[in-house]
Amino acid sequence: MPGPTRACCWWDRDADSSGRPIRQDVRIAAHEVWEEACRRTHAVLADRALAADLMERSVAQISRYLDRVGAPPSQDKHGLLMVAFSRALRRHAAKLRRLEFIGGSSELSERAIDNGWTRQLNARLELENLVRRLSERNGQILMLRAGGFDWNEISRLVGASVAALRSGFWREIASLRGND
């Protein structure tokens, strides 16, 4: 005796993901071919879960196509929709065959090394070291820049030209980095 089958359902929408309206005749056709789409998805992928996503994309694609060619509304959209759905299903199945799975979560955790936090920590430590070694004026400039002030505003506050401030600041930064 076969086990219980999970219900296969999808969310019928009035508009696609970009907000364009979906034609009513295509939506009706989708409801009428839905069970067949679920059976095909289960036969190809041994899982019905992806059928909803494929159907949503196929309905949106066919609706856009029919609008683009100016096709009048009719009830004969089943074949066109099933062709689009079947193509999307075959493309997805081919994509899954191309993927090479390397293992489960324990194997992946051994391979995945997140150096992001160490890079951030090292950059912060380097910045703090640099700030401590800056002259008082350039330390103030750095804090003002970090606070969102632009060079023109700092120039007005300090009473020096933008070019002089900027070149003096970067000259000191370069000399401090050269001493490391």
pLDDT tens digits for range 1-20 = 444 455 567 677 788 878 88
Q: Is residue 87 part of a domain?
A: yes
Model confidence at 161: pLDDT above 50 = yes
Model confidence at 103: pLDDT above 70 = no
| Residues with Cβ within 8 Å of residue 151, at least 6 apart in sequence | 162, 165, 166
Whether 90 and 145 map to the same domain: the answer is no
Using a pLDDT cut of 90, give the percent of the chain over it.
Answer: 23
User: What's the chain's average pLDDT?
Assistant: 83
Whether 147 and 89 map to the same domain: the answer is no
Total domain count, the chain: 2
The CATH number assigned to the domain holding 137 equals 1.10.10.10
- Domain boundary among the residues 99, 134, 166 is at 99
Q: Which domain holds residue 142?
A: 118-178
What Cα–Cα distance (Å) separates residue 149 from each residue in 88, 134, 144, 155? 52, 19, 6, 10
Q: In this predicted structure, what is the pLDDT of residue 6?
A: 55
What is the average per-residue pLDDT within 36-41? 90
Q: Is residue 45 part of a domain?
A: yes
Q: In this predicted structure, what is the pLDDT of residue 156?
A: 92
Model confidence at 167: pLDDT above 90 = yes
Output the pTM of the full model: 0.51
Model confidence at 139: pLDDT above 70 = yes
176 pLDDT band (50/70/90 cuts)?
confident
Whether 88 and 138 map to the same domain: the answer is no
Q: Is residue 160 part of a domain?
A: yes
Whether 94 and 63 map to the same domain: the answer is yes
Model confidence at 23: pLDDT above 70 = yes
Q: In this predicted structure, what is the pLDDT of residue 112?
A: 61
What is the average per-residue pLDDT within 56-64? 90
- Domain boundary among the residues 64, 99, 134 is at 99
